[in-house]
Amino acid sequence: MDAQERDRLAGEVDALAAGLEEARGRHAAGLDPEPSLAPRFAARSEAAHRRTVDALRAAGEEALAARVAALRAERAAAGHEEAWRAAEAAARGRGPDGEAPLAALELAALRERDRGRRLALARAAAEALEPAAAHREAACEAAARARAEVGHAPDWRVVVEGDQLLAASDDAWRDVLAYRARTALEPLPAGDLARADLLHLLALGRWDGLFRAGMLPVALKLTLEPLGLDGRARVDAADRPAQWPGVHVHGARISFRPRGGAGDWQDLVEGMGRALGAAAAPPHRRDPALGAALGWLLGSLLLEPRWLADRAGVERRQAADVVRDLALRRLLALRARAAALRVATEVERGLSGARWREAYVEAMEAATGARWEGVRAARDADAAAHAAALRGADAGERLRRDLRERLDEDWWRNPRAAPLLAGLLAAGALPPEPGDTAPAPGDAARALVARLEGKPA
């Protein structure tokens, strides 16, 4: 294979990946309830074919071969993916106020103060997910078989790193969660904390007056512009009825449907970092960990009292409690990913059906202290995304520390930060770690534990 043929294949991969990102992004944004994916694969079949994987490996093009292999797995699952996306777009459940769309049920449960109503809304959402769950599970299993056919083996090292993250943060998570539940949940669940309770608790409603929706775009612009990062990614915040709640990143595009409060600020700032990482390189050369690292770096600004004072008007007397709550919310995301990664990796080895759901419920309860619905297992089964997020978080934490050492604690105010970040984006990948040995995993979790304990991080 000569350089011209290699470049041609890379262009095919980029075109297919960009088309899939557009279709999935339009679906998440509520613009297309039934996206058509299979025809996109058929139009560029060479970019998702096993023979292409073999030819690239024979030519020593391992990175591009891995990208084609990933697209091959997505192609095997395309029909099932179309089915679950259509089913979720039409999903409705009967909550305490009657029948409602899935998105409306999930948004309402997050902010519902009455526990009985909150759990009823969560049950309705879980029931609404059931018709799509079988298609999601079939998609995951088809993709796992396709990955096995092209010789892809699960990366157990990152699974073990996730286990180490859970062990290192167990005590802090449980102690602070128990305290926050006692002070914020009424009535206090007697040993049966549900996922809906946990998400309601970490919606951080008590800080809504600080993190106002109208100020979020202003804070984002004032943060990104001095860093030379403004205008590189696009945010769709139209708040359509069919738009998925929260932040969903597809390439350099972000679909954002507000849930309200501090969580929106944290998620959108972090999502912007992931989108910036995707915008830095064409799909065939993207380093998923770069976006996750940039997301972690920018998201860490919400744990900085100076940034909170400048952008959200958080007073010094409030700062410690705000930082602790946001750190707890961020630690939930890490712990949930670590637990879901282990289960998703077992799916690659053949775990399926009822055993899959049972393993997911057990793993998530062990990691979070709350009961999760088994119907959500296939929604949480992207092992590659979990692995990139966990490793990217550690890399982002090391990047944050490096910037603090070079530019001082308020590194984002320093004019020298912009060229440093520009160099990182120009490279399109994280720099190699200095030294001969890989850094110990868990830097991100340890930094959050320090925040929870009121120590400098």
Using pLDDT thresholds of 50, 70 and 90, give the confidence band for residue 378.
very high
Domain boundaries, the chain: 1-93+129-152, 154-456
> Would you tell me how many other CB atoms lie within 10 Å of the CB of residue 189?
15
Q: Give which of 304, 313, 317 is closest to 410, Cα–Cα.
A: 304
Is cis: bond before 187, omega within 30 of 0?
yes
Per DSSP, the three-state class of 178 is: helix
Per-residue model confidence (pLDDT) at position 319: 96
Report the mean per-residue pLDDT for the chain.
Answer: 94
Q: What is the DSSP letter of 45?
A: G
Per-residue model confidence (pLDDT) at position 435: 56
Per-residue model confidence (pLDDT) at position 438: 60
Tokens of 370: 């709350």
Q: Give which of 430, 330, 316, 334 is closest to 386, Cα–Cα.
A: 334
| CA–CA–CA angle 178, 262, 312 (5° rounding) | 125
Q: How far is the C-alpha of 122 from the C-alpha of 118, rounded, in Å?
A: 6
Q: How far is the C-alpha of 332 from the C-alpha of 69, rounded, in Å?
A: 31
- pLDDT digits over 134-180, tens only? 999 999 999 999 999 998 888 899 999 999 999 999 999 999 999 99
Q: Which residues touch 120 (CB under 8 Å, ≥6 apart)?
A: 95, 96
> Percentage of residues in the chain with pLDDT exceeding 90?
90
- pLDDT digits over 403-451, tens only? 999 999 999 999 999 999 999 999 988 877 765 456 667 899 999 999 9
Per-residue model confidence (pLDDT) at position 324: 96
- pLDDT digits over 344-359, tens only? 999 998 999 999 999 9
- pLDDT digits over 81-140, tens only? 999 999 999 999 999 999 999 999 999 999 999 999 999 999 999 999 999 999 999 999
First-residue to last-residue Cα distance in the chain: 49
Q: How far is the C-alpha of 104 from the C-alpha of 434, rounded, in Å?
A: 48
Domain 154-456 falls under CATH 1.10.3720.10: no
C-beta separation of 335 from 386 below 8 A = no
pTM higher than 0.85: yes
